[in-house]
Chains A and B, each alone.
Chain A
Amino acid sequence: MVGIVIVSHSEKLASGVLDATKIMADGCPVAIAGGADDGGYGTSYEKIRNAIESVYSKSGVIVLVDMGSAVMTAEMVIEDMGYGNVLLVDCPIAEGAIAASVASFCGDGLEEVKNQALSAKTEAKW
C-alpha cells in the first residue's frame, strides 16, 4: 500500500487527521509528523523524516502538509532522502488524507493515490 504522511504545525491536528483516516481505511500505513521537536507548535525535520521512513515501501509515499514551514521542511526532507517515489501533494490535509487512505487501502498505485488526495482540493462539498 502507498504510505501517507501528515505534516502539521499542530500535534493534535495531525493526530486528529490520523484518527479520521482510520474510520474508513484502518490498516493503511499512515504516519504523522505533528508539531515541533519539543512538542510545541511548529515543524520538525526529524519527525517528518522518521514518519516517511516508517511508512515507506516500494509502493511509495505521499506527504500532505498544512502550510509554510511544513511545506518547505517536508520538501527539504524529500530532497535529502532521495527516493524517487515520495511525493509532496498540495491539498487540504484532512479531506486529502481520507481520500488518499481509502484509495491506498483499496490497492491504488502512487499516481492514483496522489490524484485522489488532489481531488480533495477541487471537489465541491455540496
Chain B
Amino acid sequence: MNTEKLFEILSDMHQTMEQEKDFLTELDNAIADGDHGINMAKGLAAVQEKIEGLKGQRIGAVLKSVGMTLVSAVGGSAGPLYGTAFMKAGMLMSDKQTMDINDFLACMDAAVEGVMARGRSTEGEKTMLDAMIPALNAMKKANSENLPPKAVLEAGVAAAKCGVEYTKTIAATKGRASYIGERSIGHQDPGATSFTYLLDVVANAI
C-alpha cells in the first residue's frame, strides 16, 4: 500500500460512514448518546478536506495527520480513540513510503495498545476493542500461515464481525453505555461495529 492507495481507502471509509451513519447512530442511541454515526461521518469528512494538502507526503505523516484531524473534528469518544489509533500507526510508519501486510499488523498492534491505554479499557467491556483484538489475532494467525494479504484482512473482518456479535451478549462497563450497564445486553456496540466497517473497507481495497 502506498499513499495513493491510502487516500483511496480513506475516501472509501468516508463513504461507508456516510452510508452507515444512521444505523450507527441508532445503535448508539440505544445505549449511549447517539452521536457515533454522525461523529464518524463528520470526522472522516474532515479527513477528506485535510488530505487534499497531504499529497506527496510519506505514509506515516498522512496517518498521523488523519489521527490529529479525527481528534479535532469528531467531538465524541471516537475522536480520541480512533485518533490515537491512527497517530500510533503514523508514528510507527514515520519513515516509510509504502506499507506491507507486516507493517499493517504492526500498526494494528500499536493501535490496539493505544486505544487500550487511552480508553483505560480491555477486551470484554463492550467497546471497539472487542472487534479490534480478535481481528488482530485472526490476522496475525492468517499471516503466519502465509495467506495472501487480502485473505489475512478478510480473516480479520470475519473475526471482527464475531466480536460485534459477542458485544451483544455482554454488559457495558466502559464509556457512557456503562450507565445503563446490564440493560445494554442485547445491543451491539457501535464502536466495535464502526471498526468492523473500516477494516472491511481496507480488505475490499487490497
Contacts and interface: CB of A to CB of B under 8 A. Distances in A.
Interface of A: 9, 36-38, 40-46, 67-69, 72-73, 75-76
Interface of B: 33, 35, 39, 71-81, 83-84, 118-119, 175-176
Given A36-B75, A40-B75, A46-B72, 19 more contacts: A38-B75, A41-B35, A42-B39, A42-B74, A42-B75, A44-B72, A45-B72, A68-B77, A69-B74, A69-B75, A69-B78, A69-B79, A69-B80, A72-B118, A73-B71, A73-B79, A73-B80, A75-B118, A76-B84
A74 to B, nearest CB: 9
B176 A37 contact: no
B70 to A, nearest CB: 10
Nearest to B71: A45
19 contacts: A9-B33, A37-B72, A41-B35, A42-B39, A43-B79, A44-B72, A45-B71, A67-B176, A68-B175, A69-B74, A69-B75, A69-B79, A72-B79, A72-B80, A72-B81, A72-B118, A73-B80, A75-B80, A75-B118
A122 B33 CA distance: 27
Contacts of A72: 77, 79-81, 118-119
B47 to A, nearest CB: 15
B79 A41 contact: no
B119 A42 contact: no
Contacts of A68: 76-77, 175-176
A76 B77 contact: no
Contacts of B176: 67-68
Contacts of A75: 80, 118
